[in-house]
Homo-oligomer: A and B are copies of this chain.
Amino acid sequence: MALRAALRSRSGLSALLSQRSSCSSDIRMCVSPLLVPQQRNYSTPPKIRVEFDQSTGVAVMHMQSPPVNSLSLDFLTELCISVEKLEMDKSCRGLIITSAQPKVFSAGLDITEMYGKSPEHCGAFWRSVQEMWLKLYGSNMVTVAAINGSSPAGGCLMAMTCDYRIMADNPRYNIGLNETQLGIVAPFWFMDTMKNTVGQRTTEMALQLGLLYKPADALKIGLVDQLEPEDQVIAAATQTISRWLAIPDHARQITKSMMRKKTIDKLTSNRESDIQYFVNFITKDSIQKSLGGYMEMLKKRRA
C-alpha cells in the first residue's frame, strides 16, 4: 500500500523536489507515505514557494495558497515536504515563514477538510496537521515567523512553533487560538504550545474565550516577540535570524530540543489516540452542524 502510494505520487513529489534546484538529494523515501497527497490535482500551482540564500544559510518560505493560506491536506503536505527538504540540507540553518497573500498569514485549518468528509479523510488530514507541528516545533533550524497578516487558529499554532515571532504592526490583524468561538476545542498539543509561549493563566483564559489579539496586545502577553511596520517584517526577520545564527548550531539545537522534548514526546506517544479523538469529535452531528453554520456565515460575509 505504502509503496504503491509512493509510486503513484512520484510525479507530484518530483515536481516538488525540482522546485529548489540546489537540493540534489532524493528524499522520496524519507517522506512518510501517510503524508503523500492522495487526490491532488497536479496542475495546481505550488502552495509553498521557497527562496534559499546559500550565502546566509537562510530559507524564506512563502505561503501562497489563495485566498488565505488555509491549512488544507495538500497545503500541509507541501509544507511538510518543503521543511523536510530544508531540514536535510545541512547548508540551510534558518527558516523564515511568511505569507505571500495580502492581509493574512494563515487562516488556519481548512474547514472543508473536516466538513462532510469520511472519517478516513479526517484522520489523514489530522495526521498532516500533527506532522506540520512535529516538523516545525522540533526543527533543528532557527525558525522565525514573519507574521504579515492575521493568524487565527492553526495559523497561530504555526507561528507559535517558531523560535521567534515578528508581527506586522497593523491593528486590523489579529492572532490567537479562537477554536472555542467555532464550538471546537484546541487539542492538548495546541494548548501545550501556547502554555510554553505565554504561560498557563493567559492560555487558560485565551483558549476558553477563543481570544484573538491585536498585535499590540499579542506583544504585551508575549504571543509575539516584536512588532514592525508591515513592509519591514521580513527584513526584521532576516536581521533577527542572523543573530540566532551567530550561536553554534549544535549547542543551540540541543538546547532547543531539551526545552521542547517533553511537549513533543507527549504528542508522539499519543499520536494515534489523538487522531482517533479528533475523528470521533469532528464527525459528530452537532459539531458538523456548527461547522456548517460557520461556513454559511463565512460565505455570507464574503458576499
Contacts and interface: CB of A to CB of B under 8 A. Distances in A.
B184 A251 contact: yes
A220 interface: no
What DSSP secondary structure best describes chain A's contact surface? helix
Contacts of A207: 255, 259
Contacts of A185: 251, 254-255, 258
B251 A180 contact: yes
Interface in A234-273: 243-244, 247-248, 250-252, 254-256, 258-260
Copies of this chain, tallied across the complex: 3
Given A200-B195, A201-B196, A208 B247 contact: yes
Contacts of A286: 250
A14 interface: no
Interface string A174-200: 000001111111101001000111111
Interface residues of A, number: 43
B248 A183 contact: yes
6 contacts: A183-B248, A183-B251, A198-B201, A201-B222, A204-B256, A208-B256
Contact of A196 (B179, B186, B196, B204): B204
A290 interface: yes
Chain B CB count within 10 A is highest, among A179, A196, A252, A290, for: A252
A286 B250 CA distance: 11
A210 interface: yes
Chain B CB count within 10 A is highest, among A164, A196, A208, A258, for: A208
Chain B CB count within 10 A is highest, among A200, A210, A256, for: A200
A209 B243 contact: yes
A185 B248 CA distance: 10
A163 interface: yes
A148 interface: no
Contact of A197 (B163, B198, B201, B252): B201
Contacts of A69: none
Interface string A272-303: 00000000000000100010000000000000
A247 B204 contact: no
A203 interface: yes
B255 A208 contact: yes
A180 B248 contact: yes
A1 interface: no
Nearest to A177: B255
A258 B188 CA distance: 7
